[in-house]
């Protein structure tokens, strides 16, 4: 038995415009043959194994996305919220302290939520081998059997043979091409997957020895944190004192207990659009497409077109990604430079860096479908049984038209039920909220009008 620990933080900026800081790649469905998100697929990958309730580690800003995707997947989980990103060593420490709260000492399987594995059986075979090593109080890392002299990954050199595993001889940084080719030729090196398996106590003991400041701050952050039925919040002040360090630097490179288990399971960290093209199923012209795409004299391309028809003529090795508010066109050999585009958007404080046109809320989602000088139109979906907070606006009025479902609307001291093809007007300065008392999603069109339509014109009256 083991506890899956799924690290679901990070921004995935190299998969922009699909991945945004408020909705990064781990929450996206990127497999043409599977509607599950990468987070959900990570859990599906270990189905059939004797695993306990997972622990998901994410940031405060992504908490409702994680909770909703776990609900959709039908999995109970403990969700630990990091007040700020502090790299993998502290994140795993929070999970380990949470796992041993009740005096137990479970084995943890630490996985990233944004990896792709195409061979589930081989993946599970490697986990079973790692489980034996973890039970012997070793710290296991999974080494990916390399298929090319990749310069974008760190490497692990194997040492002494240990049954179905090897002692770790050393970890090495991302190499240049000549060095990487030497690694491949030697047969002694694996790509560093960033995935691990070990007993919670063994990890914490090694962390206490080699990185005591991380150990102490994370211990206090969990002990002084808050828990409710959905989330476990690490105590902010304590956690912000924690050093930023990876588990490799903090523990794995220093411990004498490091073991590597080889994994040959069609693994990819999907760190770019070209990497996603490589692991996706291709047509006879080596093209990959998702959505409505027509291609003529086009080869080796990746086209993402869920919203509208995209037609490609005479293209070779090109990435085209269409979203509701942005389009990326890139040479497949230059996709690493997408990160520079994201940095420019961030410097210019453009919303396309942070969120999509359609944004997810705890109660549902809102899609800004049109905007003018003094008006804005949103398509709003409220989940069954959910409700917005009571709020008031000082610069805009709102007009709601129900398209499907039933809305329970509070307007000042009045409460009304609004059904399909009915509408209600909310003047400036009136307290209001909308609820979905029904069993199906509530769909409505919201028309905002006024002199100031930014999202910060809102005063929430319930918390």
Cα–Cα distance, 339 to 13 (Å, whole number)? 6
Segment 320-373, tens digit of pLDDT: 999 999 999 999 999 999 999 999 999 999 999 998 999 888 899 999 999 999
Mean pLDDT of 438-442: 96
Extents of the domains making up the chain? 3-268, 273-347, 358-460
Q: 243 and 86 in contact (C-beta within 8 Å)?
A: yes
Q: Where does 136-270 have alpha helices with state H?
A: 177-186, 200-210, 212-223, 236-240, 247
- Could you tell me the two tokens for 36? 């599950």
Average model confidence (pLDDT) across the chain: 94
Q: 453 and 396 in contact (C-beta within 8 Å)?
A: yes
Using the predicted structure, report yes or no on whether residue 463 has a pLDDT greater than 50.
Answer: no
Which helix (H) or strand (E) segment holds residue 262: the answer is: strand 258-263
Mean pLDDT of 3-7: 97
A 10 A CB-CB count for 102 gives 6
Tell me the β-bridge partners of 445.
379, 401
Mean pLDDT of 53-78: 92
Segment 244-266, tens digit of pLDDT: 999 999 999 999 999 999 999 99
Using the predicted structure, report yes or no on whether residue 130 has a pLDDT greater than 80.
Answer: yes
Cα–Cα distance, 78 to 186 (Å, whole number)? 42
Cα–Cα distance, 456 to 461 (Å, whole number)? 14
| Closest to 53 (Cα-Cα) out of 80, 34, 24 | 80
Cα–Cα distance, 255 to 423 (Å, whole number)? 65
Cα–Cα distance, 454 to 457 (Å, whole number)? 6
Give ∠ CA 60-57-195 in degrees, rounded to 5.
Answer: 145
Cα–Cα distance, 444 to 186 (Å, whole number)? 62
Burial pattern 246-275, b for ≥16 Cβ within 10 A else e, equals bbbebbbeebebbbbbbbbbebbbbbbbbb
| Closest to 194 (Cα-Cα) out of 266, 120, 88 | 88
Percent of the chain, pLDDT > 90? 87
Q: Which residues contact 213 (CB under 8 A, 6 or more apart)?
A: 241, 242, 243
Q: 37 and 124 in contact (C-beta within 8 Å)?
A: no
For the domain made up of 358-460, the CATH class stated in words is mainly beta
pLDDT at 15: 95
- Could you tell me the two tokens for 39? 């987070």
Mean pLDDT of 415-439: 96
Signed CA dihedral, 407, 408, 414, 420: sign only: positive
Using the predicted structure, report yes or no on whether residue 169 has a pLDDT greater than 90.
Answer: yes
pLDDT at 362: 85
pLDDT at 31: 80
The strands making up 414-418's β-sheet, listed across from edge to edge, are 414-418, 407-411, 432-435, 391-392, 459-460
Mean pLDDT of 168-177: 93
Segment 179-236, tens digit of pLDDT: 999 999 999 999 999 999 999 999 999 999 999 999 999 999 999 999 887 799 999 9
pLDDT band, very low/low/confident/very high, at 462 (cuts 50, 70, 90): low
Q: Which CATH architecture has domain 3-268?
A: Alpha-Beta Complex (3.90)
Segment 372-389, tens digit of pLDDT: 999 999 999 999 999 999
Percent of the chain, pLDDT > 70? 99
- Could you tell me the two tokens for 408? 């329970």
Segment 260-317, tens digit of pLDDT: 999 999 999 998 999 999 989 999 999 999 999 999 999 999 999 999 999 999 999 9
Using the predicted structure, report yes or no on whether residue 456 has a pLDDT greater than 90.
Answer: no
């Amino acid at each position: 038995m083991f506890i899956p620990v799924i690290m679901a933080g990070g921004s995935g900026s190299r998969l922009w415009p699909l991945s945004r800081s408020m909705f990064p790649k781990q929450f996206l469905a990127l497999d043409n043959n599977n509607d599950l998100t990468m987070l959900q697929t990570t859990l599906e990958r270990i189905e059939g194994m004797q695993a306990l309730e997972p622990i998901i580690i994410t940031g405060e800003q992504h908490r409702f996305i994680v909770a909703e995707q776990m609900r959709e997947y039908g999995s109970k989980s403990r969700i630990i919220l990091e007040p700020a990103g502090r790299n993998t060593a502290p994140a795993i420490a929070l999970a380990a302290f949470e796992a041993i709260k009740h005096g137990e000492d479970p084995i943890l399987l630490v996985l990233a939520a944004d990896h792709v594995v195409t061979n589930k059986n081989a993946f599970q075979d490697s986990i079973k081998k790692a489980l034996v090593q973890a039970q012997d109080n070793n710290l296991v890392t999974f080494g990916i059997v390399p298929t090319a002299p990749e310069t974008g990954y760190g490497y692990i050199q194997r040492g002494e043979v240990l049954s179905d595993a090897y002692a770790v001889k050393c970890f090495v940084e991302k190499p240049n091409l000549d060095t990487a080719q030497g690694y491949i030729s030697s047969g002694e090196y694996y790509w560093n997957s960033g995935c691990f398996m070990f007993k919670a106590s063994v990890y914490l003991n090694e962390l206490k020895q080699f990185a005591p400041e991380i150990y102490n701050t994370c211990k206090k952050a969990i002990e002084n944190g808050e828990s409710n039925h959905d989330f476990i919040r690490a105590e902010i002040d304590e956690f912000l004192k924690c050093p930023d360090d990876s588990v490799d630097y903090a523990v794995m490179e220093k411990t004498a207990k490091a073991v590597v288990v080889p994994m040959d399971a069609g693994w990819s960290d999907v760190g770019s659009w070209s990497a996603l093209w490589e692991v996706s199923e291709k047509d006879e012209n080596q093209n990959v497409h998702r959505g409505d795409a027509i291609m003529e004299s086009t080869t080796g391309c990746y086209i993402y077109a869920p919203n509208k028809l995209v037609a490609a003529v005479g293209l070779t090795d090109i990435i085209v990604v269409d979203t509701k508010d942005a389009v990326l066109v890139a040479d497949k050999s230059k996709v690493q430079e997408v990160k520079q585009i994201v940095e420019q958007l961030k410097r210019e404080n453009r919303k396309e860096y942070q969120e999509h046109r359609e944004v997810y809320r705890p109660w549902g989602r809102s899609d800004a479908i049109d905007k003018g000088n003094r008006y804005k139109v949103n398509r709003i979906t409220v989940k069954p049984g959910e409700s917005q907070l009571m709020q008031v606006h000082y610069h805009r009025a709102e007009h709601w038209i129900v398209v499907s479902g039933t809305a329970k609307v509070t307007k000042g001291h009045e409460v009304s039920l609004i059904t399909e093809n009915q509408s209600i007007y909310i003047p400036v300065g009136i307290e209001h909220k909308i609820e979905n008392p029904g069993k199906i999603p509530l769909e409505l069109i919201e028309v905002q009008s006024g002199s100031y339509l930014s999202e910060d014109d809102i005063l929430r009256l319930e918390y």
